[in-house]
Chain A
Amino acid sequence: MRTTAFLTDSTLCIGCKACEVACKEYNDVPADGYVFTGRSYDNTLHLGHSTWRHVAFVEMDTALGVGGNAGEQITWSFVSDVCKHCEHAGCLEACPTGSIVRTDVGSVYVQPDVCNGCGYCVVGCPFGVVDRRPSDGRAFKCTFCYDRQRDGEQPACAKACPTQSILFGEIDDLRAHAQQRLDTLRSRGIDDAVFWDSGHTSVGGTHAMFIVRGDPEAYNLPANAEVPTIYLRDGWRSAAAAALIALAGTAAAFLARRTTGIG
C-alpha cells in the first residue's frame, strides 16, 4: 500500500472539534473527564490514552491574525494535534512485546491484543502522545484509522473536517502541497506560517505534518524532539564499562584477600 500521512493546516482550521469527536465516535474512545479548564475553549488540553485528536485554542492580543486582523486586534488560532506517526518512533522502538508495529501505510500502530501495559512506550514518546489507560491497563493512541485505510477510506478525523484543514494523502504529495501552501500564504501577507514535521531531528520526519502560524511550541509542537534510541549507544557503553568494573573489582577484591590470606 502507499505511504500515507496527514497535513493539518491550521490556517484553515475553524476550531469546530469535529475531528476530535469523529475520532472518538468512530474508534469508540471513552470519555476523558468532564473538567472545565478555562483554557480558552479547550477542555481536553492534550493528547492522551482517551484523546487521540486534540484541538488547541490559543488566544492572542495582537500579532498573529488572518488577513485584515493582522497586527490590529486579538486573534484566536486553532491547531488540531494528533500522534505524529514518527519515521523513527520512540514508542515503537521501546515496545518490548512488539505490540507497536509499523504498518504498510507507514503509520505506527499499537496492537491492543499484544500490549501488556508495561508503560515503556509512554516514556519512549518524545511528543507525549501514547499513554496507558488506567481503566484498561493497556496503552492507547491514534491508530491512524488503519482499518479504514485498509478499506480505502480516509481516517475519520480527516473525513469529518469541514474545511479540509486536515488533509490526508500520499506523504510526498502532501509535502509538496505544504510548500505550495506556504507560498500562497506568504503571497497573502501571512509570512509567519511555518511547516512542522521534525524532519531535522533524529525523529527523521513525521507522518503527521503541520502548518501553523508563529511558534509551533505554542501548540506543544516541540522544536527539537529526539527519538530516545539515540541515547542507547552511550547508555550501553557505560553499562558495559560499569559491568566490567563490577566484575573485575569484585574479582580483584577476592584475589587480593586470598593472596594476603595465604601469606
Chain B
Amino acid sequence: MSTTYYDVQLLKPPVWTWEVPVYFFVGGAAGGAAIIGSIAEWTGTSGHLARDARILAAAGAPVSAALLTADLGRPARFVNMLRVFKPQSAMSVGSWTLASFSATTTGALVPALTTVAGPTSAALGAVMLTYTGVLIGATAIPVWNQNVRLLPVHFAASGVASAAALLTLMGHDDDALNDIAMGAAAAETIIGAIIETKRSAATRPLRHGPTGWVIRAGGVLSGPLPLLLRATSKRPGWRRAAGAMALVGSLLTRLGWIAAGRESAKMKG
C-alpha cells in the first residue's frame, strides 16, 4: 500500500449535487429524442413519432439548461459559459452544444426551418448523448478517467434508451422504436457485464458499497430486464413496463456514476 498523509484524501470530490446527474439524464434523453425525431422524419416512417420526439427534444433542452444553471455557484453568471469556446474543456464544448441544441430543436418545430434545423439538431443530439461521458471521463477522478472510453458509449446508450422509453410511454408502439430500445438495452447489458468484470482498485465504487448497488440496479433496469421484456412479447403493456424500467435505470446510472466519483476521490488514485 502506498503511504498517505493521515489518509487525508488528496483529491477534492466533485461538488455537484443532484442537478448535474439529472441534467445528464434529461440532456441524454433529449439528445436521443432529437435523433429519433429527425431520422423518423427523414425516413418518413411515422409523422406522430417524429413530432412527439421533436417536442421531447425541444422541451428537454431548456430543462437541461435550467438544471445546469441551478447547479452553478453563481447561477446569474450562466452566460459566462459562452464567454469563450475551449475545445479542451468538455464543459465548454458541452455548454455550446447545449446552447445550439436548444436553438436547433426549437427551430426544428418551426415548419419553415425544419429542413435545416432538423438534421442539425440530430447531429447535436448525438453530441448531447455522448459528451457528458467525456466530461467526467477527462477529470482527475480515477473511477471516471479509468472508464473514459466506456463512458461516452454507456451514456449514449443510456440516453437513446431513455428517449425511446419516453416515447414508448407516450403511447408510441412502432417496431422501429422498439428495435432502437432493444439495441440500447442490449448495449447496456454488455456494458453492465464489462463493469462487473473490470476489476481494478479505481473501479471499486462501481461494484462495492451503496454506489455499487445503485450502478448495478441502474444497469439491470436499463439492460437485461427491458431487453427480456421487449424480446419476449410485443404487448404494449410489456413494452411500456420495459420503458419505465429503462427510464429509472438511466436515471440511476447517472446518479450512480456521480456518486461513484465522490467515493473515488476519497481513495488513493
Contact = CB atoms under 8 A, between A and B. Distances in A.
Contacts of B122: 247
B152 A238 contact: yes
A238 B39 contact: no
Nearest to B77: A116
A220 B134 CA distance: 27
A97 B84 contact: yes
A241 interface: yes
B76 to A, nearest CB: 8
A239 B6 CA distance: 39
A245 B156 contact: yes
A129 B89 CA distance: 19
Interface residues of A, number: 75
Interface string A208-237: 000000010111101101101101101111
A120 B74 contact: no
A64 to B, nearest CB: 12
A84 B250 CA distance: 38
Given A114-B83, A220-B10, A238-B153, A258 B43 contact: yes
A115 B133 CA distance: 23
Given A120-B89, A251-B39, A239 B140 contact: no
B78 interface: yes
A119 interface: yes
A45 B4 CA distance: 12
A239 B152 contact: yes
Given A125-B12, A217-B3, A253-B179, A97 B156 contact: no
The 7 A-B pairs of least Cβ separation, nearest first, read A117-B73, A137-B73, A116-B77, A243-B126, A235-B134, A96-B92, A239-B152
Interface of B: 2-6, 8-12, 14-16, 32, 35-36, 39-40, 42-45, 71-75, 77-78, 80-81, 83-84, 86, 88-92, 94-95, 122-123, 126-127, 129-131, 133-141, 144-145, 148-153, 155-157, 159-160, 174-177, 179-180, 183, 261, 265, 269
